Structure 1
Amino acid sequence: MKVSLIVAMDNERGIGKNNDLMWHLPADMKFFKETTTGHVVVTGRKNYDSIPERFRPLPNRENAVLTRNSDYQAPGALVFSSLEACLKHYENETERTVFIIGGGQIYKEAMDLNVLDELFITHVNHRYGADTFFPEFDESKWNVETVFEQEPDEKHAVSFQVKKYTKK
C-alpha cells in the first residue's frame, strides 16, 4: 500500500477558512484531479461536506470519509470511524495510491502515524488569514523536487509551486 498526502497551503501553512478553500487556482485543481484520478481519496467528514454536492463523491476515484458519527451517510463513498481503520481496509492495495486529502485534523493524524510515503504540497505565495493549518514537519527527512511552478496570469491571482516530498 502506498500512502500519499496532497495539500495546498499558503505562506502561513494555512489550508482553509470557514471550512472552504481560500483561493481559485485552476492549474492546481487540475494537478489535484490528474494526480488522484483512478486512486483512493481519504477525507474527513467536514472536508467532504465542504465539497459542492454535485462533485461528491469525487468522480473516478474511490472516496473514503472519516467520521466518528456512526450514522453518517456518504452515498457512493466508504465511511470509516478512524484513519487507522481506513488504512487497514486498504492494507493489501497494490494498484492504487491512497491519498490523504484533508482536512487539517486528518493531515495531522496521517503525519503523526508516520504512514506517508510521499507528500504533494502546493505552496501558494500569499497569506489568506486561514483558520485551519497544515502541521509542521521535519522537512530534512524528505527529498524534495519541484513538480511545476505557476506564475500569476489571467486565471491565477498569485504564483505557486507544487513540490513532491519523498521519504529519505
Structure 2
Amino acid sequence: MSSAWAEPVRGVGMVWARSTTGVIGADGGMPWHVPEDLTHFRQVTDGATVVMGRRTWASLPERFRPLPGRRNVVLTRDASWAATDEAAGAEVVHDLATALDTDEPVWITGGGQVYAAGLPFADRVSETVIDVDVPGDTVAPALAEADDWDLVDEGPWRESRVGGTRYRFLEWRRRA
C-alpha cells in the first residue's frame, strides 16, 4: 500500500499508540516506551492543532507542555481548571465543537473519552500498534471492526532501538 499521508492534511485526524489488544493507557500513562512512536507522533502533529482531554494534558511531562510547534487545546468540563497553574500554555475549551472550530488541521490525541466523542468527526487515523499484551484502563476505538474505515497504509513490523519492542504504523481513512 502506498502512503496516503503525502497529500496535505485537512479535517480532523486521530493519533494513538495501542497494544495488540487495543490498550492505549494504564493509570494515566502509556504502558510501554517506544521512542520511535513519540517521534512519529511529533511528525504527524507538527504545526497542527492538537486536541486532548485534561488528563492527557496532565500525563505529558511538564517540560513538554505545551507541545511545541502546535496549538494545544485542552477539553475539560471543569470551568475553573483554566485558572490553575496546570493549565498554563493550554487553550482551554469546554466542548468538542469549539475545539474543532478551526480551518487548520486538527489531531485528537486522547484520551479515551475524547477519542470516543471525536470519532464521528474524524476522517483519518494514524495508529501505532505496539506488539505487547499489557493490562490497561483505556482502549482505542476498534477501526478494523467498523464498516466505514479503510486501512490505507500498513507499515512493516520494526524493532524499537530501546528494548527491542516491535511496533508498526497503520494509517486509516474514513470512506466517503
From the superposition, tell whether residues 144 and 12 of structure 1 become closer, same or farther in structure 2 (CA, over 3 Å). Answer: same
The aligned amino acid for 2:155 is F
1:76 to 75, 89, 95: 89
What SS class does the counterpart of residue 156 from structure 2 fall into? strand
Question: More displaced, 143-152 or 64-73?
Answer: 143-152
* TM-score after normalising by structure 1: 0.89
CA contact (8 A) 1:65 1:78 kept: yes
Corresponding residue of 1:2: 11
1:19-168, aligned counterparts within 5 Å? 19-73=28-82, 74-87=87-100, 89-90=101-102, 93=103, 96-111=104-119, 114-137=120-143, 138-146=145-153, 148-168=155-175
* TM-score after normalising by structure 2: 0.85
Question: More displaced, 146-155 or 25-34?
Answer: 146-155
Deviation at 1:83, TM superposition (A): 1.1
Rounded Cα–Cα distance in structure 2 between residues aligned with 1:156 and 1:141: 36
How many percent identity over aligned positions? 30
Give structure 2 stretches of 5+ with no counterpart: 1-9
Rounded Cα–Cα distance in structure 2 between residues aligned with 1:104 and 1:165: 18
CA contact (8 A) 2:35 2:160 kept: no
The aligned amino acid for 2:46 is T
User: Where in structure 1 do 4 or more consecutive aligned residues deviate above 6 Å?
Assistant: none
Which digits, 9 at most, give the CA deviation of each residue in 1:14-69, with x for residues without a partner? Answer: 00100011111111111100110100000000010010111000000000000011
Give structure 1 stretches of 5+ with no counterpart: none
Q: How many residues align?
A: 161
